[in-house]
Each structure stands twice: as C-alpha cells, then as structure tokens.
Amino acid sequence: MGHALPFFLSGQIHFLDSHCNDTLVDAVETAEVAEIKRAVFRALTRLRAATIKEFDTIARLETQSIDAYNDAHHYRSENPLAHLHEDEAPVQTDKLKSFH
C-alpha cells in the first residue's frame, strides 16, 4: 500500500475551506435577500391596506354628501314637469284648426 499524506497536510484542506466559506457566504446572501423581500412585501401590504382604507373613506364621505343633498332636495318639486297640452288651446276652440 502506498503512503498517504495526512489530511491536514494535503491541498484538499484549502479547497474545502474555501468551498465552505463560499457556501456560507451564499447562504447568508440568500437569507438577506429573503428578508429584504419579506420586508418589502410587508411594507407594500401595509401601503395597500392604507390606500384602500383611504379610498373607502373618500367613497363613504361622497356617499354621505349625496345622501345629504337628496335629503334636502326633491327633484320633482324643484323642477316641475310642464305637460305639452298646457301650452295648447282648449280642444273646443282648436278642434278644427289643428288639421288645416
């Protein structure tokens, strides 16, 4: 059998050490990216909720304004309907003139 160098004396230890360091750095970077994505997603979710709440408030206030206007005004009483026959002469005086 041949003689083998002890593990710690061979060049493998440097390769394994650098590979372990690279793997550890990659894992840390992956964890940082995941944390950044999570934080951004949470911030955007909060922003979306605040935006929807604000739009809901605006819609509620607009609806209240419309309801208040409708409570104070009645369209038919403020804008009476003028029937066409009100501008015409009575039938007895106009019954023969309309068709000539």
**pLDDT tens by residue, 67-92:** 999 999 999 999 988 888 777 777 77
Confidence of residue 44 (pLDDT cuts 50, 70, 90): very high
Collect all residues with Cβ–Cβ distance below 8 Å to 13 and sequence separation of at least 6. Answer: 7
Residue 39, pLDDT above cutoff 60: yes
Q: What percent of the chain has pLDDT over 70?
A: 77
Sign of CA dihedral 48, 50, 52, 55: negative
Q: Is the pTM of this model over 0.75?
A: no
pLDDT at 20: 83
- The structural domains of the chain, with segments of one domain joined by +, span 19-86
Which tokens is 2 given?
């041949």
> Is the distance from CB of 94 to CB of 87 less than 8 angstroms?
no
Euclidean distance between CA atoms 92 and 85, whole angstroms: 13
